[in-house]
A = this chain, B = another copy of it.
């Protein structure tokens, strides 16, 4: 597998110009390209440029509105429901998170459920917006149904990620950003490229039996909730994915469960929708709504320091604090550039040619 490594700013400008070509206003194109590229920077390659042509195809299919009227349709002092008007999740999500933070600045916390949106990139971007304001940020979203609940052979949930971002002092922030499945779809794509089998416990066949075939989803198989099987707690992973689905979509009025529209444009959304678009849920908690910021940050430093220096099993260097790998990738890639695999490069070149943007 060959890779091409290109500078962050070069790639971000390319994404910006593509978003402009699909009629995004300039500020939205800036925002969308920043959110999209944050995935590539942070090493979550499946959620960055690899998806750019997918967004464009959804726009071509008139399933993404590049000039949405994003608005609050219901609110209380600490909550809001936002209608994303079919916009790019990359734009709708950070705007919804801003509303959550504004509410938190007024009454201590803010909680925003979003309907009528689309894929929002990495949850981490949105949750981390809270950090510089000395707030804790949370972000979750539902997604296309690829996951079978425990004992089910039907795909009823998405990989439904959760991010919780918590500020610290001298230590870097705690940022847990994870799919509620044993493995996210992106991990299967890596195996496909390497021509390797998946470990047992990641995927099941159409009939629910064990599979190690990384192409199993194409055969009607399913991803498995975190826990892998009932004996190892997959019902808990199902609880997590269900929680995300309900907060993101039943609270907001979006589609949930098997009704969530697919990301890929060649599959049609269900003909009998139960809501509008896909759903997200955001939270912002002002640290000083609980205790003084400096006190909190000192204790976060103690917490992180203690866990990071824990005695490890033989052969492992350290306990990894949530957010460490992504932050390290970001530092490295901001300097050395972002590696793109050949398939993504081909895809971006074709996209650039189609829309007359130089890659």
Contacts and interface: CB of A to CB of B under 8 A. Distances in A.
Contacts of A245: 303
B183 A151 contact: no
A228 B232 contact: yes
A113 interface: yes
Contact of A176 (B242, B274, B311): B242
Contact of A303 (B150, B182, B257): B257
A238 to B, nearest CB: 7
A149 B311 CA distance: 10
Contacts of A240: 176, 240
A119 to B, nearest CB: 21
A231 interface: yes
Contacts of A306: 156, 257-258
Interface stretch (A29-37, A71-79, A327-335): A71-79
A245 to B, nearest CB: 8
Contacts of A226: 226-227, 233, 236-237
A73 B237 CA distance: 35
B319 A150 contact: yes
A291 interface: yes
A318 interface: yes
Given A154-B311, A299-B256, A313-B208, A108 B78 contact: yes
B307 A257 contact: yes
Contact of A201 (B107, B109, B232): B232
Contacts of A130: none
A219 to B, nearest CB: 16
Contacts of A274: 299, 302
A2 interface: no
Interface in A273-332: 274-275, 285-287, 289-291, 295-296, 299-300, 302-303, 306-307, 310-314, 316, 318-320, 322
A285 B239 contact: no
Give the number of times this chain occurs in the complex, counting copies.
2
Contacts of A149: 307, 310, 319
A243 interface: yes
A143 interface: no
Given A107-B78, A313-B208, A307 B236 contact: no
A188 interface: no
Given A151-B320, A232-B182, A108 B311 contact: no
Nearest to A321: B242
Given A79-B285, A313-B153, A182 B233 contact: yes
A28 B176 CA distance: 38
A58 interface: no
A242 B307 contact: yes
Interface stretch (A11-19, A48-56, A246-254, A345-353): A246-254
11 contacts: A79-B290, A108-B111, A156-B306, A178-B233, A201-B232, A235-B320, A240-B240, A245-B303, A246-B303, A252-B290, A257-B307
Interface of A: 74, 76-79, 81, 106-109, 111, 113, 149-154, 156, 164, 166, 174, 176, 178-183, 199, 201-202, 207-209, 226-228, 231-233, 235-240, 242-243, 245-246, 250-253, 256-258, 274-275, 285-287, 289-291, 295-296, 299-300, 302-303, 306-307, 310-314, 316, 318-320, 322
